[in-house]
Structure 1
């Protein structure tokens, strides 16, 4: 498959009106997502000093994506994916409004905050497979790599912009204003995706009689189990996220070690996002130089190094470059695995297949966040994060045997 090697390919992909609207919806939705994560994590760090509770903010937001991944994927394969995505965005707006009210009235407690993070995660669980399945419907196969790169750029540009906006708003207006802004952006994303029209090539397809929901879920599971490359992608994604989630979940406590300042925490998140943005611009060239499996291997090594440096460094000027490296490593690993899964899955099973992929990621994120948070509570944040890096290195000889190379080509 041709790889996008110049900006013209990315511009040509964005020239599609339907994809452009979906991409803008993804952009707006992800700004709100990152603003939520920053604000919720920082607020929890202010409510309690317990590392486990801080880490559980991440777990609470990702657990629903694990538990509801398959049902939401089956729904996205049965119904209009645009409408499924729009309903999810509307639900996220409702949750953001409730968070704004709770923050404005000063009634937030650790448990209430976790409950609302779970509700936010439910909306994201419905959103992700619908979006992942929509993208290949809107671009030709030779532009899919460019589309995924644009989506990665949107994710990581918002990873920079979202925390910066959230940090500034927290400092000037308070967390209630952040959540209110999230509600507005979620509604904008809802309107944008409803306006995207999926192009239809050739004669209208024959209306498919869908199997019952349980049967549809079972069909997606069977396809994953019987496809070696997809199994490899799912397992490698699971291990990668168990390793990488520790630094993300415990970053508020790293920030407090250097200075209890929301602006410092924002700068740390922005550094990680900036590294991801920079590597996203170069990532489409990497598979032509090295096999995709080696890109993932290098991402594991780089993330482990970045984690150890960020934990052990006492100067912010060492921590920020390390976090930039972590963002670059995270993006290269995730985008490579996601592209491989997208290209492997047939259209009729795409949402369910991507939902299973999502479940591996979110199960690893929820379980990993709880694991490293519990370890930090019993020992220290530094011990937990170094352990997360060592785990990734220890499992690398095993995971690198799981080939994803054939999955990089259309089935």
Structure 2
């Protein structure tokens, strides 16, 4: 829970800073982000001076991004299964040791180009494990009403670091040594470690049997599969990252080969984009309420379509600075919209897993986009690649029709905990299964259509929360007797289903149950495979455990 509560009833951009812990972690994160950007510059420069191989220099980007691609989803699972504060302490401590170690070897002259790649890969592993935790921990620091602004401020932190980190790192390298940059980055991680250490996080109370890693991984993927608003965000995030990879990947080529300008101009371009993102936070604080998150994403895609056109057609560098500034505003607007929707639409038990999947999809879009737009630039021309990318961004706005995004700000995702214990006896192991649950309704013929519409939504919730199969059957003799069934692999997974059901889900369940006619509540029957088989789906006789709810 937030450490303190502001007196204002309506949140603004500055509301998150009224919470002491958020403010401390935001400042620590800003310093750490600056250190990371400094590290990136110093690492690439050091490899450049240690080898004549362009391949090794290019592999620095791979060493940074590959761990994020490989570990985003497993990191999200760990963040949901293990105390997030402890994980942050481990990841920040690990990265501090790696950065300081690289600094020591650099000062002693014992480092090679391959060594820098190895240390960079280790830092990438730490960052990949850290990212889902860092994104989701914000939900514990501020109330839901202030969360969109907190996410915006986190984006500001990243872009301030993007604007000043490379410049500071370059100055230190020019006057001193890359080793000092590595040491300063290590100190920045230690600063974050200290802030997290003094965070007195309320312990998370988990109900039901503990999840295992593979089961938790499958649960996260299944949750996304049966959550239309979430996979809608993933589709649109992939389309956006794929398209914007053209601008982000080709801007250095435009500066060097088309405009024939120096690397300093390229750095200034990136700084203007970072400045635009910072300004975008202020604009969102002023006019953000007038634009839904869905419209922000559409507007951002349109802006980037124009930015790609400008980069292809404009040759005046000062006009391109303005283009990059506006692109920075659009980037922050879209990224904060995606992050806000993902975090507001997902309950805490699966939050980090969904964020991990989102990060994986976004990274995949950016990586694939870089490859595609780079190939087009080589085989056609830089301008042609940028013009095609502009068309892609324009076409991507049509995704708003089949995949509209809703903020989820008014959703109540706290566990409902309204289900009774299905069986109070002994002798059932959490690994016993499979389990079939039957719920019997009596529905008047006049209500069949309305019942079917609500029942389809409830079926999706059953599948989302752990069922392998789910559906509804009517009795051929007595058609008004309709039985819902859902099939769960183990008894423990069914118990977890009970605790995953939210108060928002309970409202949908009540829509189904209101069509039930009769003096008694719908009859619930739990069937367990006979004999029980651990985690194995078998065709076998069943014995019944009945309960009323």
Partner of residue 264, structure 1: 265
Structure with higher RCO (Cα < 8 A, 6+ apart): 1
- 1:120 aligned residue: 123
The 1:116/1:211 distance shift into structure 2, 3 A limit, reads same
- Count of paired positions: 402
CA–CA distance in structure 2, aligned partners of residues 176 and 342 of structure 1:
38
Aligned to 1:75: 78
Higher helix share: 1
**Does the 8 Å contact 1:88/1:123 carry over to 2?**
yes
Paired position in structure 2 for 1:239? 239
Q: What displacement does 1:100 show?
A: 4.2
Q: 1:97 to 1:178 in 2, by over 3 A?
A: same
Query: Which residue in the other structure is 1:85 paired with?
Result: 88
Distance 1:94 1:307, change over 3 A: farther
Tell me the alpha carbon deviations over residues 185-218 of structure 1, each in whole angstroms, 9 at most, x when there is no partner.
Answer: 1222222222222257xxx835664211000111
User: Could you say what secondary structure the match of 1:68 adopts?
Assistant: helix
- Cα RMSD of the aligned pairs, angstroms, is 3.3
Say if 1:306 and 1:326, in contact at 8 Å, map to a contact too.
yes
**Is the counterpart of residue 391 in structure 1 residue 392 in structure 2?**
yes
Where do 5+ consecutive residues of structure 1 fail to align? none
SS at match of 1:90: helix
CA deviation string 1:330-353 (max 9, x = no partner): 111110111011100101111111
**1:404 aligned counterpart, secondary structure:** coil
1:21 aligned partner: 24
1:322-401 to structure 2, matched below 5 A, reads 322-378=323-379, 381-398=382-399, 400-401=401-402
In the alignment, does 2:160 pair up with 1:173?
no
Question: What are the ranges of 5 or more consecutive residues in structure 2 without an aligned counterpart?
Answer: 1-7, 414-549
User: Do 1:293 and 1:400's aligned partners in 2 also have CA atoms closer than 8 Å?
Assistant: no
Secondary structure in 1 matching 2:200: coil
Relative to structure 1, the CA distance from residue 58 to residue 233 in structure 2 (aligned partners, 3 Å threshold; closer, same or farther) is farther
TM-score where L is the length of structure 2 = 0.65
Q: What's the counterpart of residue 214 of structure 1?
A: 214
DSSP-derived class of the 1:205 partner: coil
Q: How does 1:271-290 map to 2 (within 5 A)?
A: 271-284=272-285, 286=287, 288-290=289-291
Q: Is 1:139–2:142 an aligned residue pair?
A: yes
Say if 2:47 is the partner of 1:32. no
Q: 1:307 touches 1:323 (CA, 8 Å); kept in 2?
A: no
Pairwise CA distance, 1:7: 11
Could you say which structure has the higher strand fraction? 2
Q: 1:28-107 to 2 correspondence within 5 Å?
A: 28-40=31-43, 57-97=60-100, 99-100=102-103, 105=109
Deviation at 1:120, TM superposition (A): 2.8
The structure with the larger Rg is 2
Separation in 2 of the partners of 1:94 and 1:399? 45
Cα distance in structure 2, aligned partners of 1:381 and 1:106: 41
Q: CA deviation at 1:274?
A: 0.2
Distance 1:318 1:144, change over 3 A: same
Return closer, same or farther for 1:400/1:96 CA change in 2, 3 Å cut-off: farther
Q: Partner of 2:547 in structure 1?
A: none
Mapped partners of 1:249, 1:112: distance in 2: 26
Secondary structure, counterpart of 2:405 in structure 1: coil
